[in-house]
């Protein structure tokens, strides 16, 4: 779809949204991103504040120590090296131990500009992957706050901060992003001052920051971000690393974002449809994608990513000022690789590999390896006990005639590993499990101009640790539902009318359990939107967008509820509740415990190396917590 002359030089590497179809491609329904013709905005409107709905970060009541780490204006930065700044830890803080660290991104922009993806790295470790808001003539401002406490070990020492935000500025696209990045440090409170609630133990086991965070990214200097670029389905990006010989736990945190031909991968039609209709330039490979992570050639985990819609996606008016779920703070994905640690404790170089099933250009992928070290010994030892994968099962049912028809794509996969690791903490056995199920129904009508996508991704991970008779468990189940309806009407002249509506959900249940208690958090986050617009070239010349969002979090660490709606820059209603429904809250933990019990039982039973007696004992121990 090489349609727009102004984009051609950058077509695969510029992270603009895809231009609209040219006349030659009339018959392809494409989801697209565009930029709003912003000079239509009235002159007297105040600066618009954009935001992503998310629960506020819990911070101590004390004053933080704050460090402005970067102040920069991102003008013509495309294809240039990342902007660098020297970070030094706060020196005048009352304590050098911190209980909470928050990154704050503040930006303003004015004029006309596309949405740009950007990354923030510290010592090569990615802290934030995000997308800019699209400005308007009267100016916009937005703030992103992210809890970066899990990177504490990195923040103790001076480091190089790198930010890549590939922006293009010319006579038409005038928006320059003015950015401040600030780190806020909350000194740790006196230990043992408070009586800790009983769930703290199980939480801390899985939440305490690692002793070391290793970058699994590209090295500076580059004329790009530090992420790896995965350009097709056979492309494997590799990174060498080594871990200290006294590591006792390791979690790989993976960052991904998708662009150009795969920006709307979930709406890409299968290749048989493209071939039968002689379509050229329509991104294909069907709607299924997965990021596969290997360690020395063995698949250790996968990421079935959330369908982030960037701020210019589908209909840019939908995202003003409420932005798409995850667009200002893209989710990262944790894979517990502790069972494999025994294989890499030899002090030698090992290699992570990243690939994307069915990928089209381009995916940006990198990772951080969080490593916990045994302070009381120089060497730990371990062994992989069991490893089993159910390879990817991918099916496609096609039923189409010409440009109209239906497709059903389904997929599933699971990866299980189990290993022991002996450190001064004892001999800990860890099971790490990932289960995925995917379903995508795609429908084309109206001679290919109307497209409906109805997709659900289920991604469950659980980690189960045993130390003598103590059991620790963390279960994370994520469900990402997506419904997208788009209808394009060619008005001649390279002008299109587009109608779209969507529903985008991010649901996550976290449950963790230890000998002294449990913690849980339930998130339901759903956006619905309806939009219409007239598009000429890449520009939206007029339109309307309405978005409704309901965000509900109930957890042992508190509750948050927000019900908000906007229409064309105006907030229609906004209701926020910060208090838990006490009765509901109390029953929550028990409910979760009961609900997840069958899964945990199945999990235990499936761990073949367990002696039956041992398993029974563990089941009894679990049951005693119900
Ligand atoms: C970022 O912007 C917000 C809103 O304008 C403001 O309240 C906050 O103080 C700013 N943060 C910093 C560190 O300047
Ligand atoms: C960045 O910080 C400077 C100095 O504190 C301030 O003047 C400016 O308004 C800030 N910009 C943003 C986008 O917050
Ligand atoms: C896939 O991408 C890699 C990296 O850009 C390239 O070397 C290779 O030729 C590509 N393969 C195909 C089949 O296009
Ligand atoms: C596609 O191209 C082939 C070969 O040129 C032609 O026979 C066929 O009719 C075309 N199909 C469509 C749907 O245009
Ligand atoms: C650790 O425990 C596992 C499983 O119980 C056992 O197979 C292994 O030999 C133990 N390792 C050491 C060093 O004791
Ligand atoms: C994920 O976990 C949920 C809740 O425990 C369960 O209902 C669902 O079937 C699981 N899905 C997969 C793919 O394992
Ligand atoms: C999407 O598909 C699911 C079944 O997978 C169905 O329950 C749901 O109603 C569909 N959503 C819409 C809006 O059609
Ligand atoms: C074609 O474009 C011209 C100039 O933008 C406009 O006046 C005319 O109404 C357009 N025609 C159609 C059919 O949209
Ligand atoms: C989306 O819009 C179309 C056309 O207005 C309508 O038929 C369909 O029911 C809508 N779907 C949803 C989920 O709102
Ligand atoms: C919504 O905003 C667009 C673009 O600025 C404008 O064309 C349209 O008239 C607005 N609609 C309403 C109902 O305000
Ligand atoms: C959100 O607010 C709207 C408008 O007040 C209301 O109609 C809707 O029921 C609310 N939704 C929830 C889940 O509270």
User: In angstroms, what CA-CA distances link 199 with 205, 336, 369, 514?
Assistant: 10, 22, 26, 8
* 278 Cβ closer than 6 Å to some ligand 4 atom: yes
Q: Is the confidence at residue 349, as pLDDT, over 80?
A: yes
Least confident of 261-275, 356-370, 396-410, 527-541: 527-541
Q: Is residue 398 exposed (0-12), middle (13-18) or buried (19+ Cβ within 10 Å)?
A: middle
- Cα–chain-centroid distance for residue 44? 37
326 and 305 in contact (C-beta within 8 Å)? no
Rounded to an integer, the average pLDDT of 39-67 is 86
Rounded to an integer, the average pLDDT of 299-303 is 98
> Where does the pLDDT of residue 469 fall: very low under 50, low under 70, confident under 90, or very high at 90 and above?
confident
31 and 264 in contact (C-beta within 8 Å)? yes
- The model's pLDDT over 417-466, given as tens digits with 9 standing for 90+, comes to 999 999 999 999 999 999 999 999 999 999 999 999 999 999 999 999 98
Q: Is the confidence at residue 468, as pLDDT, over 80?
A: yes
The continuous run of DSSP H or E covering 592 comes out as helix 582-606
- The model's pLDDT over 174-185, given as tens digits with 9 standing for 90+, comes to 999 999 999 999
Give the CA radius of gyration of the chain.
25
Q: Is the confidence at residue 538, as pLDDT, over 70?
A: yes
341 and 243 in contact (C-beta within 8 Å)? yes
* 40 Cβ closer than 6 Å to some ligand 10 atom: yes
Please provide residue 584's backbone torsions phi and psi, each rounded to the nearest 5 degrees: -65, -40
Rounded to an integer, the average pLDDT of 193-207 is 51
What's the rounded Cα separation, in Å, for the pair 197 and 357? 44
Ligand that lies nearest to the alpha carbon of residue 433, given by its number in the listed order: 6
pLDDT at residue 259 in the model = 95
Nearest CA to ligand 9 atom 2: 501
Rounded to an integer, the average pLDDT of 566-593 is 79
Query: For a pocket test of ligand 6, which of 390, 599, 600, 601 has the largest count of ligand atoms closer than 8 A to its C-beta?
Result: 599
What's the rounded Cα separation, in Å, for the pair 151 and 128? 11
Distance (angstroms) between ligand 10 centre and the Cα of 46 equals: 16
Nearest CA to ligand 8 atom 1: 493
Helices (H) and strands (E) in the chain, counts: 5, 29
pLDDT at residue 358 in the model = 98
Q: Provide the mean pLDDT of the chain.
A: 86
Q: Is the confidence at residue 251, as pLDDT, over 80?
A: yes
Please provide residue 281's backbone torsions phi and psi, each rounded to the nearest 5 degrees: 85, -5
Token look-up 């105040």 returns 46
Rounded to an integer, the average pLDDT of 280-297 is 97
Q: Give the residues surrounding ligand 11 with Cβ less than 6 Å away.
A: 550, 563, 573
Coil vs helix vs strand at 469: coil
pLDDT at residue 580 in the model = 85
Least confident of 112-121, 391-400, 511-520: 511-520
Nearest CA to ligand 9 atom 12: 501
Q: Is the confidence at residue 199, as pLDDT, over 90?
A: no
- The model's pLDDT over 9-38, given as tens digits with 9 standing for 90+, comes to 222 222 233 222 222 222 233 344 555 554
* 492 Cβ closer than 6 Å to some ligand 8 atom: yes
Q: Is the confidence at residue 339, as pLDDT, over 80?
A: yes
Q: Bigger pLDDT: 32 or 290?
A: 290
> Where does the pLDDT of residue 625 fall: very low under 50, low under 70, confident under 90, or very high at 90 and above?
low
Coil vs helix vs strand at 360: coil
Determine what percent of the chain is predicted with pLDDT higher than 70.
83
Nearest CA to ligand 3 atom 3: 235
Q: Which residues of 461-470 are buried (b: 16+ CB within 10 A; e: fewer)?
A: bbbbbbeeee
Ligand that lies nearest to the alpha carbon of residue 568, given by its number in the listed order: 10
- The model's pLDDT over 591-621, given as tens digits with 9 standing for 90+, comes to 666 655 655 555 555 443 344 445 555 555 5
Domains in the chain: boundaries:
5-190+206-625
What's the rounded Cα separation, in Å, for the pair 188 and 403? 62
Distance (angstroms) between ligand 2 centre and the Cα of 593 equals: 47
Least confident of 8-22, 49-63, 104-118, 447-461: 8-22
Q: Bigger pLDDT: 541 or 283?
A: 283
Q: What is the DSSP letter of 19?
A: P
Q: What is the DSSP letter of 211?
A: S
Q: Is the confidence at residue 316, as pLDDT, over 60?
A: yes
Q: Is the confidence at residue 467, as pLDDT, over 60?
A: yes
Strands 363-373 and 212-216, bridge-based pairing: antiparallel
Distance (angstroms) between ligand 2 centre and the Cα of 180 equals: 6
Cβ within 8 Å of residue 573, ≥6 positions away: 563, 564, 565
- Check residue 164 and give left, alpha or beta (phi > 0: left; psi -120 to 50: alpha): beta
pLDDT at residue 45 in the model = 74
pLDDT at residue 290 in the model = 98
Please provide residue 39's backbone torsions phi and psi, each rounded to the nearest 5 degrees: -75, 0
Q: Ligand 5: which atom is nearest the Cα of residue 381?
A: 13
Q: Ligand 1: which atom is nearest the Cα of residue 106?
A: 1
Predicted TM-score of the model (pTM): 0.90
Cα dihedral sign, 353-356-361-367: negative
- The model's pLDDT over 511-528, given as tens digits with 9 standing for 90+, comes to 888 777 778 899 999 999
Q: What is the DSSP string of 365-419?
A: EEEEEEEEE-TT-S--EEEEEEEEEEEEEEEEEEEEETTEEEEEEEEEEEEEEEE
């Amino acid at each position: 779809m090489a349609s727009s002359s102004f984009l051609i030089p950058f077509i695969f590497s510029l992270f603009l949204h895809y231009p609209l179809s040219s006349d030659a491609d009339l018959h392809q329904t494409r989801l697209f991103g565009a930029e709003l013709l912003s000079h239509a905005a009235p002159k007297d409107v105040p600066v618009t504040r954009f935001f992503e709905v998310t629960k506020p970060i819990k911070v101590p009541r004390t004053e933080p120590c704050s460090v402005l780490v970067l102040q920069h204006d991102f003008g013509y930065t495309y294809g240039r090296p990342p902007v660098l700044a020297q970070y030094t830890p706060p020196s005048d803080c009352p304590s050098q131990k911190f209980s909470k660290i928050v990154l704050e991104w503040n930006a303003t922009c004015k004029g006309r500009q596309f949405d740009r993806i950007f990354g923030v790295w510290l010592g090569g470790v990615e802290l934030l992957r995000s997308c800019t808001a699209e400005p308007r003539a009267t100016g916009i401002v937005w703030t992103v706050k992210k809890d970066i406490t899990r990177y504490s070990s990195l923040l103790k020492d001076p480091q190089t901060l790198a930010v890549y935000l590939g922006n293009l500025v010319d006579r038409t696209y005038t928006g320059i992003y003015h950015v401040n990045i600030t780190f806020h440090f909350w000194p740790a409170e006196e230990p043992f001052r408070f009586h800790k609630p009983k769930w703290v133990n199980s939480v801390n086991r899985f939440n305490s920051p690692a002793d070391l965070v290793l970058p699994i990214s590209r090295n500076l200097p580059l004329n790009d971000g530090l992420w790896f670029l995965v350009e097709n389905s056979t492309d494997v990006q590799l990174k060498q690393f080594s871990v200290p010989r006294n590591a006792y736990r390791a979690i790989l945190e993976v960052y991904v974002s998708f662009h150009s031909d795969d920006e709307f991968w979930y709406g890409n039609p299968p290749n048989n449809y493209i071939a039968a209709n002689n379509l050229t330039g329509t991104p294909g490979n069907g709607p299924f994608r997965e990021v596969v992570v290997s360690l020395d050639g063995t698949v250790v985990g996968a990421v079935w990513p959330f369908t982030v819609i960037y701020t210019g996606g589908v209909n840019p008016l939908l995202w003003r000022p409420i932005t798409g779920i995850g667009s200002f703070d893209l989710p990262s994905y944790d894979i517990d690789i502790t069972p494999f640690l025994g294989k890499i404790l030899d002090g030698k170089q090992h290699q992570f590999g990243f690939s994307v099933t069915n990928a089209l250009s381009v995916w940006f992928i990198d990772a951080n390896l969080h490593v916990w070290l045994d302070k009381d010994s120089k060497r730990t030892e371990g062994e992989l006990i069991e490893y089993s994968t159910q390879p990817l099962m991918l099916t496609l049912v096609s039923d189409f005639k010409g440009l109209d028809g239906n497709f059903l794509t389904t997929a599933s996969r699971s990866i299980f590993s189990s290993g022991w690791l002996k450190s001064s903490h004892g001999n800990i056995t860890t099971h790490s499990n990932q289960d995925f199920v995917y379903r995508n129904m795609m429908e084309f009508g109206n001679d290919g101009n109307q497209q409906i996508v109805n997709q659900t991704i289920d991604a469950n991970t659980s980690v189960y640790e045993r130390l003598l008779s103590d059991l620790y468990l963390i279960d994370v189940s994520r469900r990402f539902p997506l419904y997208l309806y788009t209808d394009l009407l060619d008005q001649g002249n390279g002008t299109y009318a587009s109608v779209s509506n969507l529903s985008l959900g991010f649901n996550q249940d976290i449950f963790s359990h230890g000998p002294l208690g449990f913690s849980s958090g339930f998130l339901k986050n759903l956006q619905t939107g309806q939009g219409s617009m007239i598009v000429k070239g890449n520009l939206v010349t007029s339109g309307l967008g309405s978005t409704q969002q309901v965000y509900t979090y109930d957890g042992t660490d508190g509750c948050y509820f927000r019900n908000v709606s906007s229409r064309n820059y105006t907030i229609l209603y906004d209701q926020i509740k910060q208090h838990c429904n006490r009765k509901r809250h109390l029953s929550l933990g028990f409910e979760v415990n009961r609900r997840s019990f069958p899964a945990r039982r199945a999990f235990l039973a499936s761990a073949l190396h367990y002696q039956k007696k041992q398993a029974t004992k563990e089941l009894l121990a679990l049951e005693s917590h119900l």
